[in-house]
Amino acid sequence: MKRICKKIVTVLAAVSIGTSVLIAAPQCVHAETVRTEWNSDGIITQGSWKVGRNVTATLKDHVLTVSGSGPMYDYTTKRNLPSFKNTLFAREGGNVQLIIEDGITLIAPSLFSGCIGFTGNLEIPGSVKEIQSNAFNGCSGFSGQLILHEGLEEIGWSAFHSCSGFTGRLRLPESLKYINAGAFFQCSGFTGELVIPSNFEGFIYRSHFFHCNFTGIKNNSNCNVSIEDFIDGAMSGREYVYAGTDEVTKWVYPGERVVRRGYQLPSGLDCGEDGQWHYYTEGEIDTTFTGLAENENGWWYVQNGTLDFSKNGVVENNGAWWCVASGKVMFDYSGLWYDENSGWWKITGGAVDFGYNGVAENETGWWKVTGGAVDFGYNGLAENENGWWKITNGAVDFGYNGVDANEYGWWKITNGAVDFDYNGVAANEYGWWKITGGAVDFSYNGLAENENGWWKITGGAVDFDYTGLASNENGTWYVVGGKIDFSYTGTVKANGKTVKVVGGKVI
């Protein structure tokens, strides 16, 4: 079955313990503020924002100029930054002209979504290769032409949704390869023709130009579409038309269904005339279906027959559990993933790794995983490929310095990690211990040192009750309360003899 949409653009935010995944929404998004000026109403009338690594947006004298080189930031993952919502171009009647200079290569998802204060023409330079999803969604203030220069290759999902102020004709550039669902949905202000490029070999969907009141269509491609396909501004009659084949010209219309002769009614994921993706069974939306479904763009989470782009978590399918972000199974993801109903999970290649037992990390820390799940009740030592770690309430305690035990022995911990190179004396709540190669040496009897002095060791532990003489390879020493007393000079009775001590050492 031919799929309705060539590509779906989804957005994933970074995942961490205690944070959530967000999907792009039609609202003004954030930019890294460089400087701003406000009027008496608290509206930003002049300002400068860094909107990409090498891209700056500057507002001055009712003109917003985007200049620089390369792509803009992905504002669905770059969070906790100042918002455009109080700017002149986000307010109705802002009367701001938007100029995007040559050199910009990508307009990021939801960048100007909901900014209704723009006016005039919008010109996309030839350096821009992709306009991503929701980039101008709801920018209804534009009052001139939309000019798309040669070089543009892809227009994302709902990129110009509800930009109802555009006028004149719409010419799609010859370089265009893909238009995603809802790209020009409800752009009702067009007063001229739609020009389809000769090289276009993608799909034209009903949702692409729903309620776009073109006066005609100049079709330079093999895509079989005419002005009669637009009723009340919407493509109707044909479920979709496809460029590059003569077979598409034969259609029949049994009742409400749209079927090409020899074409089977769709089953599986398809983009409906409402601009949304649905799960179909023999041409009908299957509202009983909830689970994962596949199309050429990947695997997606469907809730009651409709693709749910807001789904973030873990979903079961055919005996395996899969991490889902913004509705899509993330087969390339390996790390820790959160599900609001079942907790945090170790993911390998997109699937929960129920066989994993060890320590895994994400951007907020390192975590003990048991049977694939983060074990917040675990306290003790655990291992991964980087070593052995001190775990407190499921997390590696990088602030811990001391001695802790597991089934193999007692171990010296330095900054949360077992220090196998340590030789000396270290403490925990049970006492002070002689450490050899990182482990407590319970067989050791003698003297050992740490940064606090030299200590009498009995059975691996500092013997704080011991007062007397003790020897090591450096001599015999006077010990008081378990510690060599280097300040003592005098005599000591031991084993029926009196010996002379100078600076703590028997001479």
| Residue at 248: amino acid letter | V
For tokens 């999970």, the residue is 345
- Residues (pLDDT < 50) of the chain are 1-34, 78-82, 224, 226-264
Question: What's the Cα-to-Cα distance from 372 to each of 66, 320, 332, 368, 381, rounded to whole Å?
Answer: 46, 12, 17, 10, 17
What would the two tokens of residue 294 be? Answer: 């596949």
Question: How many CA within 13 A on the CB side of residue 242?
Answer: 16
Question: What's the Cα-to-Cα distance from 442 to each of 435, 448, 473, 482, rounded to whole Å?
Answer: 9, 13, 20, 17
| Residue at 89: amino acid letter | F
CA distance 491 to 507: 10
207, 275 in Cβ contact below 8 A?
Answer: yes
246: exposed, middle or buried (C-beta count within 10 Å: 0-12, 13-18, 19+)?
A: exposed
Nearby residues of 256 by Cβ (< 8 Å), 6 or more positions away: none
Question: What's the Cα-to-Cα distance from 147 to each of 59, 100, 172, 488, rounded to whole Å?
Answer: 21, 12, 9, 92
What is the per-residue pLDDT for 2? 33
CA distance 177 to 200: 6
361, 336 in Cβ contact below 8 A?
Answer: yes
CA distance 254 to 287: 22
CA distance 361 to 382: 13
CA distance 373 to 356: 8
What is the per-residue pLDDT for 401? 92
Q: Nearest-CA neighbor of 218 among 183, 251, 169? A: 169
What would the DSSP string read from start to end of 329-346? E-TT--EEEEETTTEEEE
CA distance 463 to 437: 21
**Pairing relation of β-strands 122-124 and 146-148?**
parallel
What would the two tokens of residue 173 be? Answer: 């550039």
130, 107 in Cβ contact below 8 A?
Answer: yes
Alpha-carbon torsion (258, 261, 267, 272), positive or negative: negative
Looking at residue 266, what DSSP letter applies? P
Nearby residues of 482 by Cβ (< 8 Å), 6 or more positions away: 455, 456, 462, 463, 464, 465, 466
What would the two tokens of residue 132 be? Answer: 């991503």
What is the per-residue pLDDT for 47? 87
What would the two tokens of residue 387 be? Answer: 């070593």
Question: How many CA within 13 A on the CB side of residue 370?
Answer: 12
pLDDT one-digit tens code per residue, 448-503: 998 899 999 999 999 999 999 999 999 999 999 999 999 999 999 888 889 999 99
- For residue 252, the surrounding DSSP H or E stretch is strand 251-252
CA distance 291 to 303: 7
pLDDT one-digit tens code per residue, 478-492: 999 999 999 999 999
CA distance 148 to 204: 18
